[in-house]
Amino acid sequence: MNFITRLFVVILLAVVTGAAQQPAPKKSRGKKTTKKSAQIVAPSIQQDGMKLVTAPAKIEQKQDSAKQSIIAAAPDSIAKPVRQSLDTIVVYQARDSASFILGAKKMRLRGDASITMKNQKLNAEIIEMSFGESTLSAEGMRDTSGKLFGFPKFIDGKEEFVGERLKFNLKTKQGVISLGETNVENGFYYGAKIKRMDEQTYFIENGSYTTCDKPHPHFYFGSPKMKVIANDRIFFDPLVMYVEDLPVFILPVGLYFENRSGRQSGLVVPSFFFSSNNGVVFQNLGYYFAPSDYYDTQFGVDIFTKSGYLLKNSTRYVQRDVLNGNFQFSFGRRRISPDYPMLNSWNASLYHSHKFTPQTSAMANLSFSSQDFNRNFSTDITQRLQQQIYSNASLSTSFNNGSTLSFGFSRSQNLITDESQTSPSVSYSIPQLFPLKKIVASDSWLREIGFSYSATGNYALSRVREIKTTDTAANIMDTSFRSDERYFTISHSPSLSISPKFGYFSVTPSFSYRENWYFRRMTRFRATDSVYSNTMEYSAAPFREYRYDMGFSVGTRLFGLIEPRIWGLNALRHTFQPSLGYRYTPEFSARTTSYIGSYYDSVYKRNVEYSRYESDGGISSAKASQQITYSFANSFEVKTAQSNDTLPDKKTDILRFNISGNYDFEKDSLKFSDITADFRAPALDFLNFSGRANFTLYDDAPALDAISGNVIQRQINRFLASSGKGLAHLTSFSMNFSTQFSSSGTNTPSEITTADTSAKIKPGVGERFAERVNFTETECDLYGDETYGWSPLSMPWHINLTATLAYYSPVGYAISRRLDISGDFGLAPTPTWKIGGRFNFDAVAGNFFMQSINITKDLHCWNLTFDWTPSGINSGFYLRFGIKASQLQDLKLEKRANPVYR
């Protein structure tokens, strides 16, 4: 600010101060008071260490014997930064007026006033600020109807307070709010008076805490004395729980709860219920430990006073962009009833993902379990019906040339028989290369010759169950397990691809080669009439086994087009894609190769061929094959006009239909394979369906089975047409239908959307306080006098249905059929009620299985859930009534009856 402006401000201040000390002129009746005004440019006024930085405004002088003041009035608002003795900038704003009492070093703002300083902000209808004492006071006003408006709203960093009146000391950071309210994570605190002692500590008189955002909450915890330590603890003395303003529970002693945001270590409060077979059941009693931002773990226990216990641990870890994972382990002892012995059960699972470098990464998803863990402890129907669990892990790295090296591990376990198979592996692959692309001309089809290669090494160890009869008379069985080892094998898979075009025809030659390396081979011979023996030969150099075949196919594409241009149908196109191929596979038998052996079976009087690498996954013998393959693909499409003539026609696929089969020259009989027909409709909005059918051209007749000695029905080398039975016989047929209906139409999302109160945006602490202090109880309109005479009925619903039809008739008289129907449905009779369910129905046997019904009621801040399985081995129900808020999720009532907790 230049010298002339500073001098002008000093003179103006002297004039104003002097005018304020003169006697006030007498007012004459019927005449207006004379006012003097001047327009100034933003000056700086220094007085007793207090510096006011004002914005441009109109200064009006008033003379009064009781006080001396300068009133700055503006038509809209006043926004001015102020620096006071706390050495900080204070920006204030008021819609109506801002009054300065210079002698007392006070300022009074009125009309949607606000003060901002550092990270603190205060809004209120009336604000008074004392610069000398560094205090703030604020209050709201009531309108003619008695409703409070412009109530104080104080924001200090992330904390927010509202109330009817507020007093705050800027130096000590202490303050008092009358009829105050503040919010914490997913909840609200309010009381007759909130006293802030420091930045962390608050005392609340007649305080209440609730997670309900209604101005008149459905429930709350109250106490005449409350102390809150921010991000630490909340003290109650005593603690009373109210539901609809009725006390339902009281704890007549002092108590505190943790009040920390984020992950915090501490006890996990269990839930409990009573069971006839298990006694008193305590679930999820434990301790949660969070030592850092990268790691946490939870220890828990389920206690069944009559039937056993379950110990649990769940651990998580993460490092951003590097690794993440979790580990879970459970061990329990359980018995069906007090008369049975305790049985041990355990379960362990691990998930780990690790990125070492941009080219190297590891992943593991492992699961191990005792045979009966799910049946003893799981309440989930899917887990209880699970029969197999799988584990896999891999470590892979890629190189600059695109090749990849990976190490793998896989394991499968049968939970019914407790059999398992473990298999480590290593693989190396080279991506597809085009070696001639830079050599031949750009228009030559030789450029498209591609080559790729992969090699895989495998080892497997199996645990196989054996059941032996130890006492035939008493029918006593003995179960044992043995280990079967599959030696390490190496498989080579080179691949060559080429697809030249000759005019309208595409020619695709093919050549497939696979070679396996083994390190032991077997020789089998018949020891006696009922027993054969195997001898093994081991070698450090690999034994080779290879297979190859070759062929080609020729295909083209034909189009047919009709343009009727009637009823909105502008065009119908039929695409016909015939393909004819040839494939040759040489004979691989004991006569042509050394890795296929044979022995004479004296029982059935025949030579039996076997793979000498059978124990390590060797390929069995195969006869020579020369096949002519054919395929006829059909596609039907339509073009329909749209409502807007400027838009192009809409293209729609209405049907895909394919027929395929082959003829083998090398077979001595039944040279025609089954004819396969596939079809699907990809474009129907209301219905999805697909199907497959197989037809045979050959007749069947009774024949004697050489092995079993029974007479069975078999296909014979005679056409059905020759027997007068038609051209073909349907051997199998399957079709799948699925559809979806809802209140919004067909082919729409099945999720029901209602006016769920939990989905609404929750009001802030200010909006909630305004509704609470100005709350007016409205009378219930029992007789509908105040409601509309008619309103539209909205009841969202959806139904999903799937039907699978299967027909199987390998020979004329043997027929089996199956029709399975499954579906799920959902209904919302009201915005807060939801009913859903699912079912599976075997229409042939007339049995329902895996059906369930779910009912939920949204009670705003509470939730009611009922799950029911009507029948089956997992029949039972589960009922839960509890609070929605996560920090109060253990406050619930439960009732259940299922196979685990009956």
pLDDT at 132: 83
The phi-psi region of residue 715 (left if phi > 0; otherwise alpha if psi is between -120 and 50; otherwise beta) is beta
* Alpha carbon distance 79, 113 (integer Å): 10
pLDDT digits (tens, 9 = 90+) for 774-811: 877 777 766 766 666 666 778 899 999 999 999 999 88
44-53, 138-147, 396-405, 837-846: least confidently modelled range: 44-53
* Alpha carbon distance 876, 881 (integer Å): 17
pLDDT digits (tens, 9 = 90+) for 118-149: 788 889 999 998 888 888 899 989 888 888 88
Count of Cβ atoms closer than 10 Å to residue 2 Cβ: 7
pLDDT over 60 (residue 255): yes
The top-scoring range by mean pLDDT among 9-23, 68-82, 83-97, 181-195 is 181-195
**pTM for the model:** 0.65
Query: Got the DSSP string for 69-123?
Result: -EEEE-SS-EEEEEE-TTSSEEEEEESSEEEEETTTTEEEEEEEEEEEETTEEEE
pLDDT at 556: 92
Helices H / strands E in the chain, number of each? 4, 61
User: In the structure, what pLDDT confidence band is assigned to residue 528 with cuts at 50, 70 and 90?
Assistant: low
CB 712 within 8 A of CB 702: yes
User: In the structure, what pLDDT confidence band is assigned to residue 301 with cuts at 50, 70 and 90?
Assistant: very high
CB 735 within 8 A of CB 131: no
Interval 611-625 mean pLDDT: 88
Interval 291-304 mean pLDDT: 92
Q: Is 710 helix (H, G, I), strand (E, B) or coil?
A: coil
pLDDT digits (tens, 9 = 90+) for 413-429: 998 888 999 999 999 99
Cα 406 → chain centroid: 29
pLDDT over 60 (residue 22): no
pLDDT over 70 (residue 75): no
Interval 7-31 mean pLDDT: 36
**More confidently predicted of 545 and 254:** 545
Check whether the bond before 238 is cis (ω within 30° of 0). yes
**More confidently predicted of 326 and 448:** 326
Containing 8, the helix (H) or strand (E) segment is helix 3-21
pLDDT at 33: 33
pLDDT at 386: 82
pLDDT over 90 (residue 579): yes
Interval 207-211 mean pLDDT: 87
Count of Cβ atoms closer than 10 Å to residue 1 Cβ: 10
Interval 69-88 mean pLDDT: 45
pLDDT digits (tens, 9 = 90+) for 335-351: 877 788 889 999 999 99
pLDDT at 603: 74
Joined together, the tokens standing for residue 507 give: 């020619």
Among 661, 658, 588, smallest CA distance to 627 is for 661
Residues 6+ apart with CB under 8 A from 780: none
pLDDT at 322: 92
Q: 77-96 in b/e burial notation, b at 16+ Cβ within 10 A?
A: ebbbbbbbbeeeebebbbbe
Interval 724-747 mean pLDDT: 86
pLDDT digits (tens, 9 = 90+) for 741-771: 888 876 555 555 544 444 444 567 777 888 8
Token pair 């008379």 is found at 473
